[in-house]
Amino acid sequence: MAIEQDTMKITVVGVGCGGNNSVCRVADIKPTGVTYYGIDTDTKPLRSNAVKPVAIGVKRGNGRGCGGSAEAGKAAAEEDYAVLCSLFEDTVVAFIAAGLGGGTGSGAAPTVAKAAREAGALTISVVTKPFAFEGSRRMNTALTGLEELRKYSDAIIVIPNENVKNSTTQKITFANAFRLIDDVLCESVLSVLEILTKAMLINIDIADINAVLRNSGDIFIGNAVAEGTDRANRLIASATKNKKKKKGMNDAKGLIIYLSANRSVSLEEVNEISDKIAEAAAPDANIIWGFDFDDTLGDMIKVSIIASNVK
């Protein structure tokens, strides 16, 4: 049975401090049509009123975090597993954001993903790996958490914090580094969210999206706009590479391409862009294609991509 767009529930949750900060950003930018929760062992207030706080493991940790222990993070999620399951009731697509390396994100996020998947949601995790200077202990905690999280996520975007250093030409101060990472996490969640919701309004339904993103491992997202002479080539180049994220779309097994342009766009141009993007994926990739006219774009043409099973 097809699921109607207006009954499709999308749930975005943060786990731990970094995850919740980025979810607060998403909620501020995209306030409607999505349900937001901020899951933490630490009960300090969240930055956005649109995100409903969910305390976990309060019996054990008294709401004061879990001091970097992933075991404590996991125990907290297990203590409140029934609550976690209830968050994902009727959810069609779930996003789980976390900064890996601390106790709550690394320890609890896999159990949160498990709850989302058990509820039947397409489960997409978006996480960061710590900076090198945070030390090997935090990196090991992050890597163990990541391995667990992969088991329960349909799709995952991993952003190494070290890459964030190259994502801007502006000087990154220590004070704003984590804020910048919050932004990267937020941007990733927002991009996938936009593509999924927009694409589904056109000719792509949730069954198509499930076909590409269920059990799809690492995914890559790219967005680009271009105008003027040779806009097609410039658009392809900037959509298919992304400095901030480690993964490229080489040999992707699944691809969602969503294009928009005004009514004067030629069939030839749409054809060229779609073909060239598809060429970057595996030859037998499952390609889902969506298009919408947008007369507000003027001379601009816009593309969004989600590539799955990237290496």
Ligand X SMILES: Nc1nc2c(ncn2[C@@H]2O[C@H](COP(=O)(O)OP(=O)(O)OP(=O)(O)O)[C@@H](O)[C@H]2O)c(=O)[nH]1
Binding site for ligand X (CB under 6 A): 16-18, 21-22, 41-42, 65-68, 73, 99, 101-105, 128, 130-131, 134, 138, 161, 178, 181-182, 185
Q: Which does 217 bind (CB under 5 to 8 A by kind): ligand X, Mg ion, none?
A: none
Q: Which does 57 bind (CB under 5 to 8 A by kind): Mg ion, ligand X, none?
A: none
Among positions 17, 76, 199, 206, the unique one binding Mg ion when judged by CB under 5 A: 17
Q: Residues 177 to 236: which contact Mg ion by CB under 5 A? A: none
Both tokens of 3, joined, read 């699921």
- Within 8 A by CB and 6+ apart from 25, the residues are 48, 182, 183, 185, 186
Among positions 14, 65, 73, 130, the unique one binding Mg ion when judged by CB under 5 A: 65
- Taking the complex as a whole, the smallest distance from the CB of residue 14 to ligand X amounts, in Å, to 9
**Strand ranges, E, within 41-192:** 52-55, 91-99, 122-129, 155-160
C-beta closer to ligand X: residue 47 or 276: 47
SS3 124: strand
Among positions 20, 21, 30, 42, the unique one binding Mg ion when judged by CB under 5 A: 42
C-beta closer to ligand X: residue 81 or 178: 178
- Taking the complex as a whole, the smallest distance from the CB of residue 108 to ligand X amounts, in Å, to 8
- Within 8 A by CB and 6+ apart from 161, the residues are 128, 129, 130, 131, 177, 181
Taking the C-alpha atoms of residue 137 and residue 3, their distance in angstroms, rounded to an integer, is 44
Exposure string of 18-49, with b = 16+ CB inside 10 Å and e = fewer, is: bbbbbbbbbbeebeeebbbbbbbbbbeebebe
Q: Which residues bind Mg ion (CB under 5 A)?
A: 16-17, 42, 65
